[in-house]
Each structure stands twice: as structure tokens, then as C-alpha cells.
């Protein structure tokens, strides 16, 4: 007999095994292109951190498709290289809070009572804390941390802040979904049939409580990328010289009047990813409502 | 009872997606008369009513037909809690109708209290200041009826207004609707899946099946001498005294998909006395006796259908 | 005398309710005792809020009582049941849309239960599940269907198959036909009647629909505000109701037999179980209430097996006439 852990593993695919409508498929195609670029793009372009101070702020040309930045680095290469950083960060910044939030939300929703009160007050506390202070606090540390597992140099402290803050939404979502599903007659029928509590949670409650969260999680990847770009723009994000869309916008903005593409190109990259994810999320949502 | 025509519908078709869920319904109701529309889910009875009230759900449209209301119509829905505005006191909710016609606020409020009294709400002046969630299901439905009356309708459209209520409260509301019809000379269209409920308020009844009217006539005449095999079966499926458990009549098979089109009679696949003609030729509405019509080839020779025990 | 299949003894169920700052106790079931013989169908009728659904949940082991006991074949069931005790009483729910897990196939729902209770070995699970489906009048291919592919009536049949899967000794059906179309209702009622004969099934049939109760029940209990006010065989209770409330319910029940609209015999609405009246709890709505009814709770009046808790049991024949003259409450047909 398969273990409950094994069943938990098969939960996500089961919850997402849904057809997508046309707009969802369109979004998935765009996302596929981003993922492809993230994986192979780096091998097709030149070194994104190679400086060339002689050719600073060059305009678009055959040699430099999107020109060069203020340190003479090839903008197109940096844009492609940043795809990997931002996508990887975005997905991790969704998955880690999702995992924490699902566990805490499930505990709060199913057990109720004191566990529920403690977890939800903790969530209130986190939500009322000014996040920007946290980022200011870790900004100094970010410059000195090395790579850690899947995370690049300087990313760990930022990811910790994302995890500390991000789980709250997932916990609330899962909790309210569990409270809804718990009251369905089929849960009473499962209890009445003598099924064990872990089985009822894993096979009857979670598969019905998770889909709504999956929709949000898809959109959340885009939100995480946007947040990373925002804090990078404020100079609190991933440290130089590693390319990242938000940091690129920050670098380029003083040249906006002459070299506007330095800002517009990473801006389009962020917007495109956000739109693709929103389309997928919307498509999943529509399918689930049928 | 024989007042002027208050509501006339001719050749009504309602389309859902690519098909038609209502396939040409005509009806007329006179002032002071109540017409009951009976059918199972998917028969098109509610869509017919909603098309008349012009409140069809999204994606559902009136494809053809004329609806003529002489005066105003107002509708009462099945679930008052989703129709009442939870952020308005019920008195103000009822006063919306008169106020939209330019009645001053104070006058409209006074009118709301009068209407609450008319529909049998105790302490109407106090109840007018209550919020919807403070009222029981039966009182909420009375408030909905008061709000409907506030627009001074000549036609009251009721969509299963008592289905969600207890039988004791249902009996009170049926009596209320009957009294309002008689006192105000209103035309009433009462839609329900329950023949027995309809028989308490309606002078005339219309039975619908698969988007079409299959039988129409005076209520008692239709109940005592049903001419369409579907109506006969519908009456016989109701549990009643003297029928042993397990011996209740059921109708073989399932109702067709609402948008399905038939060349012949839509009920033929489930009908115990269907013949070849029934599947090839759609029966027109034939008059059995004056005022009582049925869409069956065998109207002239009604015969008890053989009870069957299979179903669903 | 045989041991009753089910014996409910002085059952009380209470729920804490918070309204504003006040904490109150809602007495949903307020001292119910009733027996059920093997292969008997007992109907329980009453208005919403009378506690009939709560009673069903307690019998099925889904809600814990505050006081009193549920005995099965003479053996009391503890408030927290073992898997075996849980299995013995199964429930069929009202809403066939909400009573099936939308993500599981019909087969998965049934085999899960067969497996849990070791009823058949893995190899014969499918065969057994298909037997169950046929038994409730569904084709064997329904095994692979998901709930949304089935009609309301078919889903209700799956709900019945699920209840039968664990071979229970008693089934509790809570408004099991209320959400179905009339013709489908008749088919499900026939199915219950067939199962009672073929499986010697005992059943508690909870309903607000008196015609359905009359069709398949042997005995009926009438509940009002958490208490049973009348119990008797279907024939006795429907032909000679002893309690004015039962008579009011019968008069309000829509049927094809009567002609014109009649005056409603019962005024007002069911009072809240948060404020149970003193004396006879029906007295504020009762057309026959006298001084005694305001003060003393009525004891059982017996006519053979037919019991009524009313000070004026079987006293007045025509409540409808009395109701029309009754000054209290909402006058509907002045």
C-alpha cells in the first residue's frame, strides 16, 4: 500500500490536471518560451557581465541588438541572462511560501481551536509588519551571502523575507477552503463510512481545497518577480553585477531620455511574464468553475 | 374572473448556447386569473417566466416571440435571501419601487409599511426597520411579495416562491397569493415543479416538457382528466394513500437534454403508448374539450397508461 | 418481544450559540426516545428547526449528544464509536450534489469503503462494487463515472450504494428525496421499498414531505421544537391524528385531493429553539390551547401503540374550523 506521503506527492498533479481554454493555452505558450530562454538562452549569448567601457551606452546595432548599458555590457545578453534569475526566483518565491502556508493553513483549518487562533494571530502579525523594513534590514547581508542550493549569490536573505511574509496568503486561502470543504456532506459520508482522519484529509479534503490555491500560486509567480523587480529598483534586491530585470530598470532610468530601450526592454520582459501567468491562472480558474 | 388580458406571450423561444431551451411557448393570462406552469427541471418553465420578466441569466437570450404586458409586471423568486439587499432595511427595500417613480421618501416609507401589513407581516412598522437576516424564511418571502406589489403590478410572476419553505408556511403564502390575486384583480403566473402546490392557487394550469407546452386547461379538469400521457404519469408518480410502497408509478428513462430537437413528440421515447407516428410527426395542440388542449396524437382517446416500475 | 434494532433513549443535543455578547444554548434535540424494529421504516417529520436532522446525525454517529444513549440491537453505542460501530449505521444525504466527492469516481468511492472494512479482497473489489451499483438500479459502467457526469437521481442512487457498501444494520435517510424531481422521487422511494424487502433493511426516513412518508414508512414520529409529540403507525397517525400539530401538518401538506385554496390552519412560524415556550411547547400556536397547556408539559396519552403528548389529545376533530376562528397570530383570510 502506498504511503500517505506518496499520495501527497501525487496531489498537486491531480489538482492541476485540468484542461486549459484558449487564453490559458496562449499564456502557457508564452511561459514556455520564457522557460526555454531561461534554460538555453545563456549559452547562446555573450557574457552578460563583460564590461566594455569604450562602447558605453551604444545604440542598438547588429553587434549589440539592444545596445550597451552604462558599463558597456551587452543589454540583450543581460536581458536573456536575467530571465533565468527572475524565473527561478519567482518560482521559488511562490513554492516556499506555498509549502509553509499549506501546512499551517491545513492545521489551522482542520484542527481549529487553539492551533487555529495561534496561527491566524501570527498571520495578522506578519501582515501588519512593514515589509520594506525587513528588506532594508537584509539589504546589508545580501551583499555578502554566497549561493545557497538553488539560490544565487545574495538571494538567500531576500528569499527568507519572501518566505516570512508570503505564507500568510496561502495559509488564509487553504484554511478558508478547508473550512468550506469540511462542511460538505461527502466529508460526513467519509467519516460515517469509518475512514481514518489522515485519509479523509489527504484524499477527500485537500484535493478539493487546493485547486483555488493553485490558481493563485500561478499568478503569484508573476507577483514575486514584480516584487523582486520593485525592491531591486529601490537598490535593495539582488546585488550587482548579476543581471536582474528590476535592477536593469534602476540602472537605465537616468538615461531614459536618450537610451529609453534600457528601461523599456526589461519592462516588457516583466510585463510579458506577468501577463502569461495571469492568463494561465485565469484559464485554470474558468475551467474549475465549470 | 373573466377580466381583460393582462399578459400575452406568442411563440416565445429562448436560446441557450446553440439550441433552444424554450421552443415556442404561447400563453395568455387575464386580470384576476392565476396560471400555473408545471414541469420538471429542464422543462423550460423557469426560463419562460424569466423571459417574460426580462431577467434571463447571462448567455441565455430570447430568440423569438412577443411578450405583451398590459401594465407592469413584478417577479418573486425562489430564494428571497439572494434577492433582498442585505445592506438595506426591508422597509427601504420595498420603498425603492415607489421612490423610483418619484414618490417622496416619507410617503414611500409609509407605503412600505402599508404593504407589509397587506402581506400579513405582524408589527409592520417595527418590521420595516429590520434587516433581511433578522427575518425568517417565510417573512422574507412576504417582504419580497410586498416589494413586488410596490410597483403596482398588473402581472405577478412567481418562480417557485414556496419551494424553500416549510409546508405550514407554504400553505400560508399560497393563501396570501390567492387573496392578493382576488383582491387586487392581478394576473398571476405561478411556476412550480409540484402539481399539488399549483392546484392550490391556479385556476388554469399549463404542463411543460422539453421546452414545449404539452397540456393546458382548467386546473381541476387537467388533474381529473389529464389528456397527455406525460401529465398522467406526473400525477401518478405523486405518492398517495392506497398505493403500496414500491408500487409508485415512475416514468421510464430520463428527460431529454433541454436543447435537443425532436422531429416528433419529445415524450415519445418515454411514452408507454407511443406509436410510429409519434416519433415522425410532432403532435399539434389539439382540443379535447373546449378550453382543454393537449399536444398528443391520442387526445381524443385518453387511456390509462400502464404503470411501470423502472425509472431514472 | 424482539429486541429493537434501534433504541434512542432520552436523547439531548445542545449547541452553544453566541449572539452578540450573550452566550446561549440551543436545545436542538430536547429529550427524544423512540424505538425501531428490525426491517422497519420509521418516518420522522416536522418543520425546519425541529431537530430532525440533528437527531439523524446523532443516530449516525456524526454529532455527539449531550445526554442520552443510542442503542443498536440492545447494545449502547458510545459517543465516540469504533470503526465497526460506525459502520453499522449509515446515512443517505439530502443534496446529491454535495454528498459525493467531485474528484473521485463512483468506483473509487465504493472500493475505498470495501477496502477499509475488508469486505472483499482487492481482486473482487470491482465486481462487488458493480453488484452494488446494479442493486441500486445503475448500470455497471457507472463505476468509472465522476459525479458531474451523473444526473441528480443517479447521484442519489450512488449515495445509497455507498451506504449499502459497508453492509450496515440501519440506514438513516435525511430528506433523501427532497432535492429530486417528482418522477425521480418516486423511483428512489420504490428503490428504498425494494431494498427493505430484499435486504431486510431497517431505516429512519427523515422528511418534511408527508406524502413520501406515507408511501414508504411503517411508523411515523412527529417532532416539534426538539421533542417527539406523536408516534404511531402510518395508518393510525394519518387517519386519526391525536395532536393538533400533526393535524395542522396534514392540513398544510399539498395534495391533489382538495379543490379550492383552504384557510391555513396553523398561524405564525416555528419559534426558535433558543426560546422554548413553557408548558406544552406548541401552545403559542395551538388553536386548542387552554390554561393547563401554558403551565404543564403534557404526558403521553396512549391509544394502543399510538402515543400523543397533548393535554387535549384526540379531543377536537375539526382543527381547521377552530383555526379559522382563532384570533392569535397572523390572520390571513379575514
pLDDT tens digits, one per residue of B251-305: 888 788 877 888 899 999 989 888 888 999 999 999 988 999 999 998 866 554 4
Identify the band that residue C67 occupies on the pLDDT scale cut at 50, 70 and 90.
very high
Prediction pTM value: 0.82
Region A131-141: mean pLDDT is 78
pLDDT at A1 exceeding the cut of 70: no
pLDDT at A9 exceeding the cut of 60: no
Using CA coordinates, name the residue in chain A closest to C60. Answer: A192
Question: ipTM > 0.85?
Answer: no
Cα–Cα dist C269/B198, whole Å: 22
Which pLDDT value is given to residue C258?
57
Q: Are C139 and C154 a contacting pair, CB within 8 Å?
A: no
Q: Is residue A5 in some structural domain?
A: no
Copy the grid coordinates of residue C314.
Answer: 384526540
Q: Is residue A9 in some structural domain?
A: no
Quote the number of domains for chain A.
1
Chain C interface, mutation test: which of B117, B179, B234, B248, most C Cβ atoms within 10 Å? B248
- The total of other beta-carbon atoms located within 10 Å of residue A228's CB is 26
Q: Is residue A279 in some structural domain?
A: yes
Which pLDDT value is given to residue A143?
66
Question: Phi and psi at residue C200, in whole multiples of 5°?
Answer: 50, 45
pLDDT at C129 exceeding the cut of 60: yes
Which pLDDT value is given to residue A289?
65
pLDDT at C191 exceeding the cut of 80: yes
Chain C interface, mutation test: which of B239, B243, B272, most C Cβ atoms within 10 Å? B239
Q: Is residue A15 in some structural domain?
A: no
Size of interface B-C (CB pairs under 8 A): 160
Scanning the structure block, which residue is given the C-alpha cell 481545497? A209
Identify the band that residue A90 occupies on the pLDDT scale cut at 50, 70 and 90.
very high
- Residue B239 Rama label (left phi>0; alpha psi -120 to 50; beta): beta
pLDDT tens digits, one per residue of A236-269: 877 777 888 888 888 888 888 888 888 899 999 9
Which pLDDT value is given to residue C23?
81
**Structural domain boundaries enclosing A188:** 20-289
Which pLDDT value is given to residue C276?
87
Instruction: Output B308 or C121, whichever has higher pLDDT.
Output: C121
pLDDT at C330 exceeding the cut of 50: no
Chain C residues within an 8 Å CB radius of B201: 261
Q: Does C104 touch chain A (CB under 8 A)?
A: yes
Domains and CATH numbers, chain B: 1-72+153-312 (3.40.50.300)
CATH number at residue A54: 1.10.3720.10
Reduced to 3 states, what is the DSSP secondary structure of residue B206? strand
Which pLDDT value is given to residue B259?
78
Using CA coordinates, name the residue in chain C closest to B203. Answer: C260
Q: Is residue A206 in some structural domain?
A: yes
A7-to-A13, A70, A207, B60, C113 alpha-carbon distances in Å:
11, 53, 11, 42, 18
pLDDT tens digits, one per residue of B57-109: 888 989 999 999 999 999 999 887 788 888 999 999 999 888 888 889 999 99
Q: Which of A210, A280, A288, A168 is nearest to A10 (CA)?
A: A210
Which H/E stretch holds residue C198? helix C182-199
Chain C residues within an 8 Å CB radius of B80: none
Cα–Cα dist A115/A244, whole Å: 40
Q: Is residue A3 in some structural domain?
A: no
Cα–Cα dist A141/A146, whole Å: 10
Q: Which of A200, A49, A184 is nearest to C86 (CA)?
A: A200
Q: Is residue A4 in some structural domain?
A: no
Identify the band that residue C322 occupies on the pLDDT scale cut at 50, 70 and 90.
very low
Q: Is residue A6 in some structural domain?
A: no
Cα–Cα dist A229/A245, whole Å: 6
Cα–Cα dist B38/A159, whole Å: 63
Instruction: Output C50 or C331, whichever has higher pLDDT.
Output: C50
Reduced to 3 states, what is the DSSP secondary structure of residue A82? helix
Answer whether B311 sits within 8 Å of C270, measured CB to CB.
Answer: no
Q: Does C166 touch chain A (CB under 8 A)?
A: yes
pLDDT at C270 exceeding the cut of 90: no
Chain A interface, mutation test: which of C56, C88, C103, C160, most A Cβ atoms within 10 Å? C103
CA distance C306 to chain B (A): 19
Amino acid at each position: 500500500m502506498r504511503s500517505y506521503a506518496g499520495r501527497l506527492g501525487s496531489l498537486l498533479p491531480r489538482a492541476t490536471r485540468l484542461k486549459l481554454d484558449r487564453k490559458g493555452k496562449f499564456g502557457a505558450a508564452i511561459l514556455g518560451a520564457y522557460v526555454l530562454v531561461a534554460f538555453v538562452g545563456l549559452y547562446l549569448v555573450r557574457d552578460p557581465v563583460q564590461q566594455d567601457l569604450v562602447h558605453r551606452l551604444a545604440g542598438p546595432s547588429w553587434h549589440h541588438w539592444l545596445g550597451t548599458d552604462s558599463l558597456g555590457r551587452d543589454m540583450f545578453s543581460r536581458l536573456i541572462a536575467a530571465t533565468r534569475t527572475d524565473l527561478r526566483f519567482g518560482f521559488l518565491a511562490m513554492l516556499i511560501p506555498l509549502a509553509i502556508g499549506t501546512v499551517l493553513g491545513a492545521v489551522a483549518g482542520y484542527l481549529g481551536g487553539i492551533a487555529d487562533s495561534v496561527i491566524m494571530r501570527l498571520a495578522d502579525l506578519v501582515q501588519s509588519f512593514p515589509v520594506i523594513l525587513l528588506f532594508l534590514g537584509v539589504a546589508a547581508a545580501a551583499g555578502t551571502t554566497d549561493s545557497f542550493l538553488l539560490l544565487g549569490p545574495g538571494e538567500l536573505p531576500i528569499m527568507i523575507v519572501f518566505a516570512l511574509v508570503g505564507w500568510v496568503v496561502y495559509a488564509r486561502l487553504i484554511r478558508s477552503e478547508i473550512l468550506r470543504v469540511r462542511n460538505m456532506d461527502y466529508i460526513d459520508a467519509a467519516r460515517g463510512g469509518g475512514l481514518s482522519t489522515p485519509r479523509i484529509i489527504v484524499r477527500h479534503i485537500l484535493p478539493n481545497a487546493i485547486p483555488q490555491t493553485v490558481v493563485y500560486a500561478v499568478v503569484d509567480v508573476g507577483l514575486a518577480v514584480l516584487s523582486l523587480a520593485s525592491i531591486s529598483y529601490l537598490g535593495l534586491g539582488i546585488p550587482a553585477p548579476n543581471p536582474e530585470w528590476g535592477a536593469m530598470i534602476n540602472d537605465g532610468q537616468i538615461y531614459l531620455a536618450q537610451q529609453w530601450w534600457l528601461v523599456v526592454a526589461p519592462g516588457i520582459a516583466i510585463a510579458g511574464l506577468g501577463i502569461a501567468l495571469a492568463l494561465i491562472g485565469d484559464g485554470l480558474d474558468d475551467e474549475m468553475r465549470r | 374572473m373573466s377580466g381583460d388580458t393582462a399578459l400575452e406571450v406568442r411563440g416565445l423561444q429562448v436560446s441557450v448556447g446553440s439550441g433552444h431551451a424554450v421552443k415556442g411557448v404561447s400563453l395568455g393570462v387575464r386580470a384576476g386569473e392565476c396560471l400555473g406552469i408545471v414541469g420538471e427541471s429542464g422543462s423550460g418553465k423557469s426560463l419562460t417566466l424569466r423571459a417574460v420578466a426580462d431577467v434571463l441569466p447571462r448567455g441565455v437570450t430570447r430568440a423569438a416571440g412577443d411578450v405583451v404586458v398590459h401594465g407592469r409586471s413584478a417577479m418573486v423568486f425562489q430564494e428571497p435571501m439572494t434577492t433582498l439587499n442585505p445592506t438595506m432595511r426591508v422597509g427601504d427595500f420595498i420603498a425603492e419601487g415607489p421612490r423610483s417613480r418619484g414618490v417622496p421618501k416619507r410617503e414611500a416609507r409609509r407605503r412600505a409599511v402599508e404593504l407589509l401589513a397587506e402581506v400579513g407581516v405582524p408589527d409592520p412598522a417595527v418590521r420595516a426597520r429590520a434587516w433581511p437576516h433578522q427575518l425568517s424564511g417565510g417573512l422574507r418571502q412576504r417582504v419580497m411579495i410586498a416589494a413586488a406589489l410596490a410597483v403596482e403590478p398588473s402581472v405577478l410572476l412567481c418562480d417557485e416562491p414556496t419551494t424553500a419553505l416549510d409546508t405550514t408556511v407554504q400553505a400560508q403564502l399560497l393563501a396570501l397569493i390567492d387573496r392578493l390575486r382576488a383582491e387586487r384583480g392581478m394576473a398571476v403566473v405561478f411556476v412550480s415543479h409540484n402539481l399539488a402546490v399549483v392546484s392550490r392557487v391556479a385556476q388554469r394550469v399549463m404542463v411543460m416538457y422539453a421546452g414545449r407546452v404539452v397540456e393546458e386547461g382548467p386546473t381541476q379538469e387537467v388533474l381529473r382528466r389529464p389528456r397527455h400521457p406525460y401529465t398522467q404519469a406526473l400525477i401518478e408518480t405523486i405518492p398517495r394513500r392506497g398505493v403500496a410502497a414500491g408500487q409508485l408509478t415512475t416514468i421510464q428513462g430520463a428527460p431529454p437534454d433541454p436543447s435537443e430537437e425532436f422531429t416528433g413528440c419529445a415524450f415519445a421515447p418515454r411514452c408507454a403508448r407511443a406509436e410510429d407516428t409519434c416519433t415522425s410527426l410532432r403532435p399539434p395542440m389539439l382540443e379535447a374539450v373546449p378550453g382543454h388542449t393537449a399536444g398528443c396524437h391520442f387526445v381524443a382517446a385518453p387511456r390509462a397508461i400502464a404503470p411501470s416500475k423502472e425509472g431514472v | 418481544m424482539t429486541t429493537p434494532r434501534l433504541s434512542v433513549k432520552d436523547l439531548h443535543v445542545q449547541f452553544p450559540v453566541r449572539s452578540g455578547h450573550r452566550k446561549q444554548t440551543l436545545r436542538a434535540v430536547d429529550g427524544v426516545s423512540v424505538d425501531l424494529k428490525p426491517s422497519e421504516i420509521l418516518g420522522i417529520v416536522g418543520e425546519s428547526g425541529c431537530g430532525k436532522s440533528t437527531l439523524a446525525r446523532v443516530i449516525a454517529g456524526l454529532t455527539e449528544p449531550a445526554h442520552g444513549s443510542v442503542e443498536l440491537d440492545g447494545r449502547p453505542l458510545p459517543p465516540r464509536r469504533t470503526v465497526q460501530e460506525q459502520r453499522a449505521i449509515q446515512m443517505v444525504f439530502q443534496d446529491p450534489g454535495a454528498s459525493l466527492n467531485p474528484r473521485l469516481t463512483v468506483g473509487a468511492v465504493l472500493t475505498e469503503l470495501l477496502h477499509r472494512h475488508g469486505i472483499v479482497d482487492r481482486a473482487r473489489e470491482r465486481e462487488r462494487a458493480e453488484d452494488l451499483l446494479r442493486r441500486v438500479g445503475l448500470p455497471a459502467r457507472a463505476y468509472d463515472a465522476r459525479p458531474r457526469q451523473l444526473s441528480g437521481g443517479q447521484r442519489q442512487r450512488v449515495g445509497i450504494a455507498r451506504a449499502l457498501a459497508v453492509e450496515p444494520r440501519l440506514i438513516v435517510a435525511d430528506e433523501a428525496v427532497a432535492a429530486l424531481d417528482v418522477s425521480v422521487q418516486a423511483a428512489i422511494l420504490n428503490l428504498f421499498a425494494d431494498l427493505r424487502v430484499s435486504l431486510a433493511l431497517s431505516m429512519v426516513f427523515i422528511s418534511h414531505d408527508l406524502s413520501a412518508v406515507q408511501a414508504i414508512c411503517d411508523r411515523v414520529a412527529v417532532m416539534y421544537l426538539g421533542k417527539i409529540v406523536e408516534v404511531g403507525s402510518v395508518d393510525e397517525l394519518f387517519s386519526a391524528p391525536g395532536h393538533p400539530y400533526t393535524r395542522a401538518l396534514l392540513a398544510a401538506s399539498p395534495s391533489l385531493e382538495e379543490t379550492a385554496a383552504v384557510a391555513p390552519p396553523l398561524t405564525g412560524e416555528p419559534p426558535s429553539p433558543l426560546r422554548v415556550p413553557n408548558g406544552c411547547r406548541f401552545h403559542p400556536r395551538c388553536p386548542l390551547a387552554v390554561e393547563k397547556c401554558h403551565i404543564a408539559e403534557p404526558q403521553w396519552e396512549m391509544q394502543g401503540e399510538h402515543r400523543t403528548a397533548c393535554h387535549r389529545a384526540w379531543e377536537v376533530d375539526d382543527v381547521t374550523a377552530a383555526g379559522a376562528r382563532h384570533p392569535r397570530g397572523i390572520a390571513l383570510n379575514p
